[in-house]
Amino acid sequence: MIKESSIEQFKQIVGKDNVLTSKESLKSYSYDGTTSWIHEPDVVLFPTSTQEISAIMKIANAEKIPVTPRGGGTNVSGGSVPIEGGIVMCFTKMNKIIKIDKENLTATVEPGVVLMDLNMALAREGLFFPPDPQSFLGATMGGIIAENAGGPACVKYGVTKQYILGLEVVLANGDVVNLGGRTLKNVVGYDLMHIFISSEGTLGIISRAELKLNPLPKAKKTIMAVYADVAVAGESVYRVLENGVIPDKIEFLDNWVINRIEEMMPMGLPKDADAVLLFECDGIPESVEKEVEQIVEITKKHGAIDVRVAKDQAEADRYWLARRAGFAAVFGKAATVLAEDVTVPRNKMPDLIRKCKEVAKKYNLEITVLGHAGDGNLHPSILTDINNKEAYDRALKGLDEIIEATVELGGVLSGEHGIGLEKQKFFRRVIDPNVTNLMKGIKQLVDPNNIMNPGKIW
């Protein structure tokens, strides 16, 4: 419980409209994008400046009140769920794009800026922020940085951490530090900035960010390749890359997902295909044409049964809409979804997909797979129901085996969604205790009272 006097102080800091305490409001900040993690905060605060954040943190630190940062609440790991109560510090009202610098290809933003809003503003200047988590309609820059998010375009462009030049961070004790800078190169002491990227809100509050941008590519093309065998599709991915073609996206859908998408919005995906790969190439028009030709040739040579090049942007948009709908297709079909985010070296993808199929058979489970094939990041999802103990136990067993197989194949637990609460169990199992201790040491140093998003990661 938070003292009434602290609440009064918060009201003075952020204004009473930016302090929520009603039962209904607390409930509506108790969840994120996961199906199973729920806990109410004691208060929700909406700061709109670094000063306000700092003032709140000073009180929270003195009173030892847990603080859970929250952006769009779209994460799928329990990251923004205030599992120990206390304050949810929500940044949706701190959402100004402070500056777009066309000459230096940079932008300065507040943490609550939604990625789609940013990209719309950038597009007017002929620029874009390349990392593309598929939750761009709701995810904020603070959350994206705190989760080091990445999306399909990661094949060519990489993930968020490659596009952050500088961060302003408010520490647990209210101190404000500036890390990194505004230059592309920067070797001045330890690279502390990167510790805060993917820290999932456990080290400090990101109150401002300096982003690196790219000019918008002049041309784009989408190719859909259809396969009768998942493993063959997996091979196509590294064959394309091996031949020196770097598409900006390579996405993967399995038969189950294809069929659910067709049910929700019929768009002519081949229903009997075992797998579909979506490629997108971008760049200058001539090179895009050339790359598309090569991909068509390579995929055909390596076992695709049908290859289609989207004839215009409208057709391409339909394919990508289907890819985005994949997530909904999965979540709409079961009471509980164990959505994994495992990532393996690219050439091991067929093995992992095969493993998922085996596990599904062995434990009589419905397991679907979609994901970012270009970077080996797959989202196998087990459909189950947490209220049906027998089925749920089977699901957990299956999940264990998938995770173990991932690690054996040289992969990692999470490619982009983070650990939060959802993957803690596995984190403990696979991370070297020495590494965990190093992390804990850093945490102890910057947040000695353990008030920043407590209960997460390890």
Partner 1 sequence: MDNLKELSKIQQYAAQCMKCGFCSFFCPVYQEERTETSVARGKNYLVREILAGRQEFTKEMADIIGKCLLCKRCVVNCPSKTQIDRVVVGARAEMVNKKGLGFIKDFAFRKVMADRKKFGRYVKLAQKFQWMLPKTEGKIRHLPDFIKGLGKRNIPEIADRFLRDMVKEVNKPQDGKAPVMKIGFFSGCAMDFVAPETGLKIIDFLTKKGVEVVYPQDQNCCGAAIYFSGDFETGRKLAEENIKAFEKFDYVVTGCGTCSSTLKDYAKYLSENEDQQKRYDAFAKKVKDLTEFVVDVMKINLEELKLKKEFEGKTATWHDPCHLVRYQNIKDQPRAILKALKGLKFAEMPNADMCCGMGGSFSVYHYDLTKKIADKKMAGIKATNADIVVTACPGCIINLQDNVIRSKMPQKVYHFLELVE
| Binding footprint of partner 1 on the chain (CB under 8 A) | 20, 22-25, 27-29, 31-35, 46, 72-74, 92-93, 95, 112, 114, 116, 135, 137-139, 264, 324-325, 327-328, 331-332
Residue 23 CB, nearest approach to partner 1 (Å): 7
At 240, is the secondary structure helix, strand, or coil?
Answer: helix
At 362, is the secondary structure helix, strand, or coil?
Answer: helix
What residue is closest to ligand FAD based on CB?
143
| Residue among 304, 322, 324 nearest 225 (CA) | 304
9 binds, among ligand FAD, partner 1, none (CB under 5 to 8 A by kind): none
Residue 320 CB, nearest approach to partner 1 (Å): 12
150 binds, among partner 1, ligand FAD, none (CB under 5 to 8 A by kind): ligand FAD
Residue 306 CB, nearest approach to ligand FAD (Å): 26
Pick 168 or 291: Cβ nearer ligand FAD: 168
The pair of three-digit structure tokens given for residue 112, joined into one six-digit string: 């609550």
Pick 57 or 205: Cβ nearer ligand FAD: 205
Count of C-beta atoms within a 10 Å radius of residue 142:
30
173 binds, among partner 1, ligand FAD, none (CB under 5 to 8 A by kind): none
142 binds, among partner 1, ligand FAD, none (CB under 5 to 8 A by kind): ligand FAD
Distance CA 124, CA 441 (A): 44
146 binds, among partner 1, ligand FAD, none (CB under 5 to 8 A by kind): ligand FAD
Residue 443 CB, nearest approach to partner 1 (Å): 28
| Residue among 254, 176, 237, 173 nearest 374 (CA) | 237
Contact 290, 302 (CB under 8 A): no
What sign has the CA pseudo-torsion 451, 455, 456, 458? positive
| Residue among 263, 294, 296, 259 nearest 275 (CA) | 259
Pick 138 or 181: Cβ nearer partner 1: 138
Pick 221 or 417: Cβ nearer ligand FAD: 417
31 binds, among partner 1, ligand FAD, none (CB under 5 to 8 A by kind): partner 1
201 binds, among ligand FAD, partner 1, none (CB under 5 to 8 A by kind): ligand FAD
At 11, is the secondary structure helix, strand, or coil?
Answer: helix
180 binds, among partner 1, ligand FAD, none (CB under 5 to 8 A by kind): none
Pick 121 or 305: Cβ nearer ligand FAD: 121
Pick 29 or 196: Cβ nearer partner 1: 29
Residue 301 CB, nearest approach to ligand FAD (Å): 30
Pairing of strands 219-227, 306-309: antiparallel
Distance CA 326, CA 258 (A): 8
At 22, is the secondary structure helix, strand, or coil?
Answer: coil
Pick 91 or 363: Cβ nearer ligand FAD: 91
The pair of three-digit structure tokens given for residue 263, joined into one six-digit string: 């049910």
Only one residue has tokens 């761009």, namely: 136
Contact positions vs ligand FAD (CB under 6 A): 32-33, 68-76, 79-80, 91, 111, 133-135, 138-140, 142-144, 146-147, 149-151, 200-201, 205-206, 327, 416-417, 453
The pair of three-digit structure tokens given for residue 308, joined into one six-digit string: 């289609």
25 binds, among partner 1, ligand FAD, none (CB under 5 to 8 A by kind): partner 1
Largest CA distance in the chain: 71
Residue 201 CB, nearest approach to ligand FAD (Å): 3
**What does DSSP assign to residue 216?**
P
With vertex at residue 415, the alpha carbon angle to CA 340 and CA 421, rounded to the nearest 5 degrees, is 55
> Residue 339 pairs with which residues in a beta bridge?
381
343 binds, among ligand FAD, partner 1, none (CB under 5 to 8 A by kind): none
> Residue 179 pairs with which residues in a beta bridge?
167
**Count of alpha carbons within 13 angstroms of residue 323, beta-carbon side:** 27
* Helices 349-362, 230-242: crossing angle, 10 deg rounding: 170
Only one residue has tokens 């027998």, namely: 390
Pick 146 or 288: Cβ nearer ligand FAD: 146
Residue 92 CB, nearest approach to partner 1 (Å): 4
Pick 392 or 427: Cβ nearer partner 1: 392
Pick 54 or 95: Cβ nearer partner 1: 95
